[in-house]
Amino acid sequence: MAGIDIKFEFDDRQFQLACLHLIDRGERLRPLMLDIGEMLLESTRARFTTKTAPDGQAWKPLHPKTLAKKGGKGSTLVFEGYLRDLMRAEAGDDFVDIGSALEYSALHQLGGTSEMAPGPAAVEARPYLGMSEDDKRNVLEIGWDYLAATPIG
């Protein structure tokens, strides 16, 4: 056969190693989930300062009777700071949980009625748990950073 034949060769070991490392990172997601959990915990705690729900809605102000009971101390959802300060993040290979074990945490998140025990528990819902649009963007950024941390070489 007439003509020319050019053959190129290159060493792709670095690329193969990077791919294997990327696969390994994708199979071991707990470190990523821990980072996401910490970010969400910070974001959730910040809501106690901004007094806003994850969707950006302002929390309902405290009822005047509640303010009087507190003796002017504290602010919405913060009296001693237990709800804010005792929140925890738990993470596994495929989940992140943010929350509080305090009995009244659900009442503040979801609200209550006057019929609820120990009663009356008529409390406005003041959602503090959840993901804002910023949180969603941050989760993606943390995920990309996690995968981009693949060493080459």
Secondary element (H or E) of residue 98 = strand 96-99
Alpha carbon distance 54, 20 (integer Å): 38
Per-residue confidence (pLDDT) for residue 148, from 0 to 100 = 84
pLDDT at 73: 66
- The set of residues, in sequence order, having a beta carbon less than 8 Å from that of 97 and lying 6+ positions away, is 37, 89, 90, 91
Q: pTM for this structure?
A: 0.80
What is the pLDDT at residue 60?
85
CA-to-CA distance for 146 and 38, rounded, in angstroms? 14
In the chain, what are the domain boundaries?
13-148
Q: Which pLDDT does position 121 carry in this prediction?
A: 74
pLDDT value for 138: 98
Could you tell me if residue 71 is left (phi over 0), alpha (psi between -120 and 50 degrees) or otherwise beta?
Answer: left
Tens digit of pLDDT at every position of the chain (153 positions): 678 989 888 888 888 888 888 888 888 899 999 999 999 999 999 999 999 999 999 988 877 777 777 776 667 777 677 888 889 999 999 999 999 988 888 888 998 887 877 666 778 889 999 999 999 999 999 999 998 886 655
HSE at residue 143, side-chain half, CA atoms within 13 A, is: 9
Structure tokens given for 5: 């034949």
d(CA 130, CA 117): 26
